[in-house]
Amino acid sequence: MLDDLSFGWRSAVLVVAEVQLLIVAAALARAMANRTANRTLALLLLVLVGIVTPWMIGFAGFYDKWRWLSFAPFQITLGVAPLFYFYVHALVTGTWPVPAWRHLAPPTLQFAFLTGSFLLPMPAKNAWSAIITTPYDIVTGIGAIAGMLFYGREALALLHRYRGLLATQRSDDHRFAATWISRAIAAGAALLAVWTVYAVWDALSPLGYTGLMGLYVAIAIFALFIAIEGWRHAALPFPTIESLAIPADPTPPPRDWRALGEAWAAQVRAEHWARDPDLSLATLARRLGTNTGHLSRALNEGLGVNFSTFINRLRCDAVAEAIAAGSTADLLDLALDAGFSSKASFNRAFQAAYGMAPSSYRRAHGSKAE
């Protein structure tokens, strides 16, 4: 029965990618942390597998052997952009945007259209295909491109807001800044450019199955990137935007926020509280005997910094003091002892605080040991 099929290198490349995506999707669906986000990403990966599938089986000759497969509802291209946005939204808020049905209406209609066309008898299906294929490809192609532009912008705006809140509440904000999602959006922009070029090219001069191979390899690469990065961050307990919101002080008494900020900074420095890598605004406020609103105002209005910058500057100062005292310990050990949780966050904070890399600072001010 399979003698008429031909599994060449094109089918092999796509099927290897699909198998990996399905494995990661199954693992994400079972993850307990960030359940809504991880299950949304698993659904997105399944949609991406569906987009690649017709080309994988088409290269193998499935459509030539079983013509009734035409219009099989594999390619729900209009679902990629909203599901990616849903993933970002669920990651930072814990839920999908409301109402979700408005965002999912286009892919639902696309699925219904393909399913209805797929169920037609073969003579009717062939006639329908000759009429509808070109306008359908144009409409869904424009819709997919427009969706990637719109939802990419929305995802970036949401991440920007999230990072701003993180910096006011967490000293380990770099762990949850989700820079990989920004890279995924950039990768999506590159995929959008490739998709647009292929769409225009194919409209002007039909490329056929083999000519579009590059596009579907690009889609598979994008899918594998977000699958791997999503799995790497699947168990990280992201604080939600709601939990990061600082309660408003309805009747704040007049205070000298600068004096308070300087007094609290001196106490934090004396107690070495910045060495706690998980230190948050709420934890520090409890230790200082105040509330998060007052502490936030003392830092923002009094000292002109957000919480993350304040704590990480204290950590950088601790490393600089150790270097000046002649410590020969490894820089990473000094950073971890000061409260940093990674080398990357230490290097970034130290560069911002002192205008040079930690190794350069040591050469200029301390021991020659690296």
Q: What is the pLDDT of residues 25-34, one digit of tens each?
A: 999 999 888 8
Residue 280: φ, ψ to 5°:
-120, 165
Q: Is residue 275 within 8 Å of 286, Cβ to Cβ?
A: no
Give the DSSP per-residue string, 196-220. Answer: HHHHHHHHHS--HHHHTHHHHHHHH
Output Rg (C-alpha) for the chain, integer angstroms.
Answer: 27
53 and 193 in a single domain? The answer is: yes
Element (H, E) at 275: none
Total domain count for the chain? 2
DSSP letter, residue 280: B
> Are 131 and 14 members of one domain?
yes
Q: What are phi and psi of 170, to 5 degrees?
A: -125, 140
On the question of pLDDT at 254 being above 80, the answer is no
Mean pLDDT to the nearest integer, 322-347: 90
Confidence tier at 60 by pLDDT (50, 70, 90): confident
Q: Which two tokens stand for residue 195?
A: 């998709």
| CA of residue 155 relative to chain centroid, distance | 9
Q: Which two tokens stand for residue 196?
A: 């647009």
C-alpha torsion 299→304→309→313, nearest 10: -90
Map tokens 């839920």 to a residue. 95
Rounded to two decimals, the pTM is 0.84
Same domain, 58 and 181: yes
What number is the average pLDDT over the span 132-142? 89
How many percent of the chain have pLDDT more than 90? 51
Q: Let me know if residue 261 belongs to a domain.
A: yes
Alpha-carbon distance of 27 to 21, in angstroms, equals 10
Whether residue 266 lies inside any domain: the answer is: yes
Half-sphere exposure of 307 (CA within 13 A, CB side): 28
**2 part of a folded domain:** no
Domain membership of residue 70 as a residue range? 9-242
Are 74 and 143 in the same domain?
Answer: yes
The neighbour count for residue 275, using CB atoms within 10 Å, is 16
Question: Token pair 């209406």 is at which residue?
Answer: 105
Are 40 and 86 in contact by the 8 Å Cβ rule? The answer is yes
6: left (phi over 0), alpha (psi -120 to 50) or beta: beta
Contact between 288 and 329 (Cβ < 8 Å): no
Residues 79 and 188 in one domain: yes
Give the CATH number of the domain where residue 68 resides: 1.20.1070
pLDDT in tens, 198-234: 878 877 887 777 788 888 888 899 999 999 989 988 8
Crossing angle of the two packed helices 257-271 and 281-288, in degrees rounded to 10: 90
* Separation of alpha carbons 235 and 238, rounded Å: 9
Between helix 80-93 and helix 122-169 the angle, nearest 10°, is 30
Residues 275 and 224 both lie in one domain: no
